[in-house]
Amino acid sequence: MLVTALSFIFVLGVLIFIHELGHFIVAKRVGIRVETFSLGFPPTIASKKYGETTYALGIIPLGGYVKMAGENPDDKMVGAPDEFMSKSVAQRAAVIFAGPFMNYLLAIVILIGVFYFTGRPIFDESHVIVGQVVEGDPAYKAGLKTGDQIVSLDGKVINNYDSLRFAIYSHKDRPLTLSWLHDGDTMSARITPRIETVPNAEGGIDSIGMIGFSEKILGYHKFGLWESAKRGFVTAHVIVYETVLFVKKFAFGEVSPKLIGGPIFIAQQSGREAEKGPSNLFFFMALLSVNLAILNVLPIPILDGGHLVFLAAEKIKGSPLSMKTRAIAQQVGLIFLLFLIVFVTYNDILRAFKGF
């Protein structure tokens, strides 16, 4: 529980800080007065003012914000040169876009670091060697040990972990015969997989068989800095592509909304990845960072993408949208965001109770 909580705070804290830092740096760069830089939402735990900016730490770790002078429709504006609305459309767009862009860059940097400092895991390509065995699961009860070599499944020779894994998935309702080598001796056992439920793309639940062991990692192949940079860059863009594809499918009703995770899911998954090791946690952070970047550029009022739409309309129209229009759009966006938070939290609770 402690690992989960600390991992969740660490992951979200870094992602939010980097996002808001992007807004902050570009705002200062173009001469906008930043009144507040907050990591977390109020109530405020601590705050300190340096120069013209108050730096705050909020008790709710689900976001943060950079409050710029003259940014909100209800702010009193005097037309001072350091107000947000006094800057050009291009400058304001740069400030808004900087947050998601920093999350995008962070994902690339993290992935480069994972390839450089950890590398790619090495597995036995011609044998299936047992790694971690989950205590209490069918494989553990059958006597399977770390370092054992899987020989066959139901009499069929096995030399590939993925083929073994998928074959076990299909044995959800019937026992299987597994044979393996242990210290040179051939062992065999009749094992009935436990049934695990997983969500599918239609929003339903699939059942698969699991016996509870992973493939042994023999070592890691580390890459040089240049190769790590290439692999990190490519991997980040694969994640971008998959994320955009999911958003597209979600928008057209091709995948179920039940697949969307919220804060509870992120917390649970952060804990799981942390237990696997730092590289797994950082890879998960890179994945979330890309998701946060793409979510924020969606054309939804109150999100960065919504603000960019306002600026595009202003550029076309030749003047800012009216205060009333912006205020109404912000309210609609806030209602939508609150609904989304409630919905994903509901999904998370269902996942917790249904065990997937």
Beta-bridge partner residues of 68: 34
Rounded Cα gap, residues 262 and 300, in angstroms? 18
Helix-strand-coil percent breakdown of the chain, rounded to 5?
50, 25, 25
Rounded Cα gap, residues 232 and 112, in angstroms? 4
Rounded Cα gap, residues 246 and 252, in angstroms? 10
Rounded Cα gap, residues 148 and 142, in angstroms? 12
Reading phi first (left if > 0) and then psi (alpha if -120 to 50, else beta), residue 87 is in beta
Please name the residues in contact with 56: beta carbons below 8 A apart, sequence gap of 6 or more: 36, 37, 38, 39, 40, 44, 46, 47
Helices (H), the chain: 2-29, 89-113, 138-142, 161-169, 225-251, 263-276, 278-296, 304-317, 323-354
Omega within 30 of 0 (cis) for the link into 43: yes
Point out the residues that are catalytic: 20
Report the C-alpha dihedral over residues 105, 110, 115, 120, rounded to 10 degrees. Answer: -120
Q: How far is CA 253 from the centre of its chain?
A: 22
